[in-house]
Amino acid sequence: MTHYRQGSFLAIMISSLGLATLLGGCLFEPRSAEPPTGGSITYFDQSQPQNVLANLEIAFQNRDAAGYERQIAADFSYEPDGDTQASYPDVDWSTWNRETEIAFIQSFFNNVDGIAANLNETVVSEGSTGTTAEYREIYAVTVTESGGFVPYRASVTFNFVLDGTYWVLSRWFDEQGGQDPETQAPRPTLGQRRGAFAASGGGRASG
């Protein structure tokens, strides 16, 4: 059933964790990862698709490429929106796979000063069949770089699959760019970032 709601799923998850701690129980089994800066980042177990989405958000906000990589399926694919395809017509998007995505994320995270991410600012629909799931969301991402802020906003479809006992993201489809909710100014999708990366010759992850 299609529905809409506002707010960060990550914030809800974190609030739930705090409540569980006060009650002496645990709703999730978070695990820690070592980010490039040496601190500790806590991720949720990948026992359900919404945990994977929350983990992607955590990885964005901490610019943790290793944490992001763990959420991505072996057969991952990315599909850009029409504006991105028009902006980068020479990019062969059909070959964008897990390796390309990881290379992009490594470059992206290493070349910006900060990222504020809300990958499900508005939930359009979420459904699961047991071993697959499809979430349609509106995301908002603001990148800090070169002393300024670059906003991205888009309607997106996230597809997840159950890989053994872990859920992973198998497809990211940027449907179309969105509008700033206050100014109504058009905002691009993160496909524009990916397109610029591919056009510059990127495409292989570092070791």
Residues 6+ apart with CB under 8 A from 185: 179
**In Å, how far from its chain's centre is CA 122?**
14
Q: Is 39 part of a structural domain of the chain?
A: yes
Q: Is 161 part of a structural domain of the chain?
A: yes
What is the full per-residue pLDDT of the chain (207 aa) written as tens digits? Answer: 444 444 444 444 444 444 333 333 333 334 434 344 446 899 999 999 999 999 999 999 999 999 999 999 999 999 999 999 999 999 999 999 999 999 999 999 999 999 999 999 999 999 999 999 999 999 999 999 998 999 999 999 999 999 999 999 999 999 999 999 999 999 999 999 999 999 999 865 554
Structure token pair of residue 183: 């100014």
Q: Which residues pair with 8 in a beta bridge?
A: none
Alpha-carbon span 199 to 202, nearest angstrom:
7
Domains: count for the chain: 1
Domain CATH for 113: 3.10.450.50
Q: In 3D, which of 31, 62, 49 has the Cα closest to residue 126?
A: 49
Q: In 3D, which of 103, 20, 109 has the Cα closest to residue 58?
A: 109
Range of the domain at 103: 9-199
Instruction: Give pTM, 2 decimals.
Output: 0.80
Phi, psi of 99 (to 5 degrees): -60, -45
Q: Is 204 part of a structural domain of the chain?
A: no
Residue 15's pLDDT is 45
CB neighbourhood size of 30 (10 A) = 16
Q: Is 71 part of a structural domain of the chain?
A: yes
Q: Is 2 part of a structural domain of the chain?
A: no
Alpha-carbon span 118 to 151, nearest angstrom:
12
Q: Is 206 part of a structural domain of the chain?
A: no
